[in-house]
């Protein structure tokens, strides 16, 4: 059986998996990225992980190629990571250097594009011609797949919807702009909003659980729990994040006309708490024609979409070479 290997390179962890053409994951390993060791050490680590899952996948399989999803700006044609701030990578020829180490063709692309490619090919977007995927995590980003093809735009920079300016949002974003969607509607943004409110003395179940330095340990999952227990602050923050994502997606929908929107990333774990207000705002903000068929679904392979997408992308890239 011919398989491909997908690698999801994150700022904290690297996940590497052996993936069948159907998208099924045969074997998987996860390691800390250790970005501070430098890019050569990280590439050595990835090469080890590739060999490990290759062995774990069994004797009957032959690995044809490897795909990598890398955060930040990536040049897929050149196989180069142009800029990844959390890895401190700039102009690293990943495809060539990893290819040398493992003796297989290597294809690279942006991690969110790989994630959405995975969901479009073998996840919630399967069977739809026009897929818009959004990941709600530390930041918010999107990617578009039409008829199996990823959309890139000039320098592959499309999909930066986390930095759209939103009505009524006044937070300064790490990018330097003011009022960016992701400052309040990403998983990190929601937590930041809660922390700020608690520090300002707002009453909440969260205030009883996290105080002082404990505030740093609070996560988006804690907000979900508090919302389930009827906490007003958590409900307010998650509902607002849902609405703002819905409003930004309404603009993206009328611009791009997807048939399905797949919502993934850590923020999507809030499920209907976030998706109900998201859908409500989205549907009431688009023209009738868009409202009719548009689906909003959560990602099917939230944890594995990155490796599945990278592996299937490598398969497709090798075939079309």
- The binder of its own copies chosen from 250, 261, 263, 282 (CB under 8 A): 250
d(CA 163, CA 61): 43
Output 31 or 283, the one with its CB closest to its own copies: 283
- Specify the residue, 72 or 105, whose C-beta has the smaller distance to its own copies: 72
What is the distance, to the nearest Å, from the Cα of residue 90 to the centroid of all Cα atoms in its chain? 21
Q: Which of 46, 47, 161, 297 binds its own copies (CB under 8 A)?
A: 161
Which residue among 228, 254, 271, 272 contacts its own copies (CB under 8 A)? 254
By CB under 8 A, which span of 38-46, 98-106, 183-191, 286-294 interacts with its own copies?
286-294
Contact partners, residue 138, CB within 8 Å, separation at least 6: 186, 187, 188, 266
Task: State the minimum distance, in angstroms, from the CB of residue 30 to its own copies.
Answer: 30
User: Cα–Cα distance between 17 and 153 in angstroms, integer?
Assistant: 29
CB atoms within 10 A of CB 185: 29
DSSP assignment letter at 151:
P
Of positions 60, 167, 216, 321, contacts its own copies by CB under 8 A: 167
**C-beta of 167 vs 229, nearer to its own copies:** 167
Stretch that binds its own copies, among 110-118, 224-232, 266-274, 287-295 (CB under 8 A): 287-295
Q: Which residues, 6+ apart, have CB-to-CB distance to 128 below 8 Å?
A: 120, 259, 260, 295
Strands 89-92 and 149-150: unpaired
For residues 56 to 85, the per-residue mask of contacts with its own copies, x marking binding by CB under 8 A and - elsewhere, is -----------------x------------
Q: Could you count the other beta carbons within 10 Å of the beta carbon of residue 285?
A: 18
Query: Does 153 engage in binding with its own copies (CB under 8 A)?
Result: yes
- Assigned token pair, 201: 């003395």
Q: Is 273 an interacting residue with respect to its own copies (CB under 8 A)?
A: no
Alpha carbons 7 and 65: distance in angstroms, whole number: 11
Min. distance of Cβ 205 from its own copies in angstroms?
33
Does position 252 bind its own copies by CB under 8 A? yes
Residue placing its CB nearer to its own copies in the complex, 102 or 286:
286
DSSP line for 207-252: HHH--GGGGGG--HHHHHHHHHTT-HHHHHHHHHHHHHHHHHHHHH
Is residue 287 at the binding interface for its own copies, with CB under 8 A as the rule?
Answer: yes
How many C-beta atoms surround the C-beta of residue 215 within 10 A?
17
What distance in Å separates the CA atoms of residue 18 and residue 28, rounded to the nearest whole number?
6
Instruction: Quote the least distance from Cβ 187 to its own copies, whole Å.
Output: 20
- Minimum gap (Å) between residue 103 Cβ and its own copies: 33
Compare residues 225 and 295 and give the one whose CB is closer to its own copies: 295
Strands 260-264, 295-298: pairing is parallel
Q: Which two tokens stand for residue 97?
A: 């250097």
Choose which of 17, 125, 258, 267 interacts with its own copies (CB under 8 A).
258
Q: Which is nearer to its own copies, 37 or 129 (CB)?
A: 129
Give the other-Cβ count within 10 Å of 207's Cβ.
18
218 touching its own copies, by CB under 8 A: no
What would the 3-class secondary structure string for 56-86 be? Answer: HCCCCCEEEEEEEEECCEEECCCCEEEEECC
Of 20-28, 106-114, 189-197, 282-290, the window that binds its own copies (rule: CB under 8 A) is 282-290
- Closer residue to its own copies in complex, CB, 56/177: 177
Please give the residue ranges that form the binding site for its own copies (CB under 8 A): 73, 129-130, 142, 146, 151-161, 163-165, 167-168, 175-177, 247-248, 250-252, 254-259, 285-290, 293
């Amino acid at each position: 059986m011919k398989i491909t290997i997908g690698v999801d390179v994150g700022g904290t962890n690297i996940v590497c998996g052996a993936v069948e053409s159907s998208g099924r994951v045969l074997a998987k390993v996860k390691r800390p990225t250790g970005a501070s060791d430098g890019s050569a050490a990280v590439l050595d680590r990835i090469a080890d992980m590739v060999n490990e899952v290759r062995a774990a996948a069994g004797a009957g399989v032959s690995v044809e190629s490897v795909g990598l999803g890398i955060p930040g700006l990536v040049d897929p044609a050149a196989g180069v990571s142009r800029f990844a701030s959390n890895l401190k990578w700039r102009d690293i020829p990943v495809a060539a250097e990893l290819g040398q180490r493992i003796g297989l063709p290597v294809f690279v692309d942006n991690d969110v594009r790989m994630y959405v490619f995975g969901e479009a090919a073998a996840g919630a977007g399967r069977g739809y011609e026009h897929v818009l995927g959004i990941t709600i995590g530390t930041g918010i980003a999107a990617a578009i797949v039409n008829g199996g093809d990823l959309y890139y735009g000039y320098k592959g920079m499309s999909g930066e919807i986390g930095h759209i300016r939103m009505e009524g949002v006044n937070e300064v974003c790490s990018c330097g702009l003011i009022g960016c969607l992701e400052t309040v509607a990403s998983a990190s943004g929601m937590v930041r909003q809660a922390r700020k409110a608690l520090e300002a003395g707002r009453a909440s179940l969260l205030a009883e659980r996290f105080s002082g330095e404990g505030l740093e340990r609070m996560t988006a999952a804690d907000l979900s729990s508090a919302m389930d227990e009827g906490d007003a602050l958590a409900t307010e923050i998650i509902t607002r994040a849902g609405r703002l994502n819905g409003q930004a997606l309404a603009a993206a929908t009328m611009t791009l006309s997807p048939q399905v929107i797949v919502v993934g990333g850590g923020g999507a774990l809030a499920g209907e708490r976030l998706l109900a207000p998201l859908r409500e705002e989205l549907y009431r903000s688009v023209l009738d024609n868009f409202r009719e068929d548009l689906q909003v679904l959560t990602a099917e392979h939230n944890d594995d979409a990155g490796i599945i997408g990278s592996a299937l992308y490598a398969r497709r890239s090798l075939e079309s070479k």
